[in-house]
Chain A
């Protein structure tokens, strides 16, 4: 994932390859630049279709447009959750163990929390506009809220300190336990409060251009997700490399302290 970026004026930032720092290395590569452009195009496309070209819904009027943000965000939240779970699994399996998986899990969780927040807020607004209520205890919203809180806990666990391997193992276990727990939460809420009638009907009514806008939204958001996670994962790699460099400096100091005695 590295490319030949020409070195800029030297500063003391670490580079992912570990060579002591004369090179300021941004996290962009040709692949992410192309991806970034595609994401931008996707977003513009979404705005055009979502805000202008798609029609108002018969009953919900312009309120239906919030769905073009809400549904893709929800999709992304669960995608991020899945990616964190799979990366954590990849880390725990000895053969594929690598800190890159740990960093992908962390980056995905951070991006995922953001989109979970957007899902909850947009869903709340949509509910308010459509039926006058900010919140309802249906299984999707409630499970998303639980996922949100669970991931905040996961991110807190990631910040507990220790070596990179300790962090990776600890977080991977918590993530895998979350994968166990979330379906249980989903089913228990679903049995507890079966889906309200008007909600399922409302979503079934999307057709034609509205459905197309929704798909545009999903594609654009997915591109955004991949772009964000790639960059964030690289930043995390650089932070880890910086820690390692810091260790080398601390080692030298520690040894010097010994030499003085």
Chain B
């Protein structure tokens, strides 16, 4: 079966600096992959590259069968990215946000409700504007948006950060369900025991390259 992610010698540049300096990576369908590594190693850039947000300067890069070195836009809408920012609209409520992001992929009202339920955001909380929520609650909302998107490849950048214990358990359960349903998951995290327990494989990202 074709790998979900195939990177060979990938170099990516931001502001003249090579954030990825020859990364090789191979990810099979259904894997939950943990990316470990020091700050500034390139984990975030790697995830953004796979989402089609960072241009490939050199090397071979294929995600979900699409050549993203040639055309970054082809892989979009099959990939879900939860980056450092949440991608939310501060003035809209939780349910407005999730409904909007769900609608961009044609999700129904039921899907949206289910997603909110899943992340513990239904009820009174759903009507609150994002600007009045705590960081952890915003993260949950962002996750709910991701769940509503039903992507084939999930890319999460330090998703546990800011979540309380219950939130982290919910997140882990969500990722396991996604993987069981056939999605592939790549998680960059410093939560080594928790993510390590979740992951089927661990790789090290150092100096813009990948090991392991």
Contacts and interface: CB of A to CB of B under 8 A. Distances in A.
Contact of A251 (B15, B18, B55): B18
Contact of A250 (B18, B22, B38, B206): B18
A162 B14 CA distance: 7
Contacts of B22: 251, 255
Given A255-B207, A255-B209, A247 B18 contact: yes
A165 B206 CA distance: 27
A247 B207 CA distance: 14
A163 B38 contact: no
A99 B15 CA distance: 19
Contacts of A255: 21-22, 207-209
A246 interface: yes
B38 A251 contact: no
Contacts of B207: 254-259, 261
Interface residues of A, number: 17
Given A255-B207, A259-B207, A163 B13 contact: yes
Interface in A149-185: 161-163, 165-166
A257 B57 CA distance: 20
A247 B209 contact: no
A70 to B, nearest CB: 42
Interface in A209-261: 243, 246-247, 250-251, 254-259, 261
Interface string B52-64: 0001010000000
B55 A166 contact: yes
9 contacts: A243-B16, A247-B13, A250-B16, A250-B17, A251-B21, A251-B22, A255-B208, A258-B206, A258-B209
Interface of A: 161-163, 165-166, 243, 246-247, 250-251, 254-259, 261
Interface of B: 11, 13, 15-18, 21-22, 38, 41, 55, 57, 206-209
Given A162-B15, A247-B57, 8 more contacts: A163-B57, A251-B21, A254-B21, A255-B207, A257-B207, A258-B206, A261-B206, A261-B207
